[in-house]
Amino acid sequence: MSNLITVQNLTLKFRTDEGLITAVEDVSFRLRKGEVIGLVGESGSGKSVTAKALMHLNAKNAVYSPESKIILHTDEGDVDVLSLRKAKDMKVVRGGAISMIFQEPMASFAPAISIGKQMVEQLMLHSDMSKEQARKHSIEMLDRVGISDPHKRVDQFAFELSGGMRQRAMIAMALSTKPKLLIADEPTTALDVTIQAQVIDLMKNLVTEFDMGIIFITHDLGVVAQTADYVSVMYLGRLIEKGPVREVIRDPRHPYTQGLIAALPKLDDLENPLLPIPGDIPSPLERPPGCVFNTRCSKIVGDACMSVLPPDIKVNPVHRVACHIYKDEGVA
């Protein structure tokens, strides 16, 4: 499979009144066509900021380190995302080759413009369709994502649709330009479980149908297990573990990943009490030295945890973990 996007040593800080705040630090990953990567972490872990960086969508006060590289591989050649300066050039990463769907579909649609008008508008921007073609294509897309009566729905406004319907419309809109990469930022968090299951099924089918890559951002490991091929776990801006979804969930190596899985209420085990991870994620203003997880870790192995950044250790060729417990090759 060919590569779709490569992220190398992405480090991103925000300039604020209180100084530079590190949001993402030294994150590298790549995504191939037809793959789904789950990006997991709690609030403040930097997962949304990472995704926005792929579209060059972070606020003006964002400072990228010189080593940071994001390369989008398209049929027309490679695009160095972070070097894009003009709005005209950014079209390719904003709705062209990359589309994004957000958590709150109500906030993503303009409230006073009909769904159809918004879909047509972006199609006219990103393709050479005529208005009639664009409208026809929009109706087709609405039909594809399972919206009944697409001819009627296309002229409705976002507030007239239910939550699940709105998220479907959002997906239809994001996919209508045939992007190579879809970034889904907590797309099912605001939905009820029964609707969430429907949307997950829909997205799974669309990956195969459109042969695109998806970056699925979520805090819900269950959702990741059901959708992703690979999972990357983030904590305080750092990627602390990554690998194939089965391996990471069945055999988590990082104490944080282990803690996340243990804290999850499971239906097949109602007897044992829930095991929280003690403490809170530290404020980005007070990043601990050494391993970023050392303020909450129950498996501290020595001074190294407190002072030395743990290296990326290969559990096997595809599963990596950043933790001092393990030594390269000698992983138990």
Taking the least distance from each CB to other proteins, the nearer of 113 and 285 is 285
In this complex, which beta carbon is closest to other proteins, that of residue 250 or of residue 327? 250
Applying CB under 8 A, which part among 23-31, 71-79, 204-212, 221-229 lies near other proteins? 221-229
In this structure, what is the dihedral angle of CA atoms 274, 278, 279, 283, given to the nearest 10 degrees?
A: -90
Task: List the interface residues with other proteins, window 22-41 (CB under 8 A).
Answer: none
Q: How many residues in the shown chain lie near other proteins by CB under 8 A?
A: 42
Query: Which three-class secondary structure state does DSSP give residue 242?
Result: strand
> Please, which residue, 270 or 332, has the CB nearer to other proteins?
270
* Backbone region of residue 321 per phi and psi (left: phi > 0; alpha: psi in -120 to 50; beta: other values): beta
- Cα gap 37→35, rounded to integer Å: 6
Q: Should residue 249 be labelled a site residue for other proteins when binding is judged by CB under 8 A?
A: yes
Query: Per-residue x/- mask for other proteins, residues 159 to 188, rule CB under 8 A?
Result: ---xxxx-----------------------
CB of 69 to other proteins, least distance (A): 30
Q: What whole-number distance in Å separates Cα of residue 36 and Cα of residue 217? A: 10
Shortest Å, Cβ 151 to other proteins: 19
Backbone dihedral region of 290: left (phi > 0), alpha (psi from -120 to 50 degrees) or beta? left
Considering the complex, state which of residue 223 and residue 291 has its C-beta at the smaller distance from other proteins.
223
Distance CA 63, CA 18 (A): 15
Cα–Cα dist 60/49, whole Å: 13
Q: How are strands ordered across the β-sheet holding 230-235?
A: 98-101, 181-185, 213-218, 36-40, 230-235, 238-244, 319-322, 312-316
What DSSP assignment string belongs to 94-120? IIISEEEE-S-HHHHS-TTS-HHHHHH
By CB under 8 A, tell whether 299 contacts other proteins.
no
Query: Residue 84 or 165: which CB sits closer to other proteins?
Result: 165
Position among 12, 115, 221, 292 found at the interface with other proteins (CB under 8 A): 221
For other proteins, which residue of 223, 240, 305, 322 counts as binding (CB under 8 A)?
223
For every residue of 245-271, DSSP letters joined together read HHHHHHS--SHHHHHHHHHS--TT--S
Q: Least separation, in Å, of the C-beta of 265 and other proteins?
A: 4
Return the residue of 222, 258, 287, 295 that touches other proteins, per CB under 8 A.
Answer: 222
Q: How far apart are CA 326 and CA 323, in angstroms?
A: 6
Answer yes or no: are the C-beta atoms of 68 and 11 closer than 8 Å: yes
Using rule CB under 8 A, residue 198 touches other proteins: yes
Binding status of residue 42 toward other proteins by CB under 8 A: yes
Q: Whose Cβ is closer to other proteins: residue 278's or residue 311's? A: 278
Binding mask 256-295 for other proteins (x = CB under 8 A): ---xxx-xxxxx--x--xxxxxx-xx--------------
Q: Which of residues 65 and 198 has its CB atom nearest to other proteins in the complex?
A: 198
C-beta closer to other proteins: residue 34 or 163: 163
List residues binding other proteins (CB under 8 A).
42-43, 162-165, 192-198, 200-201, 219-223, 225-226, 245-246, 249, 259-261, 263-267, 270, 273-278, 280-281
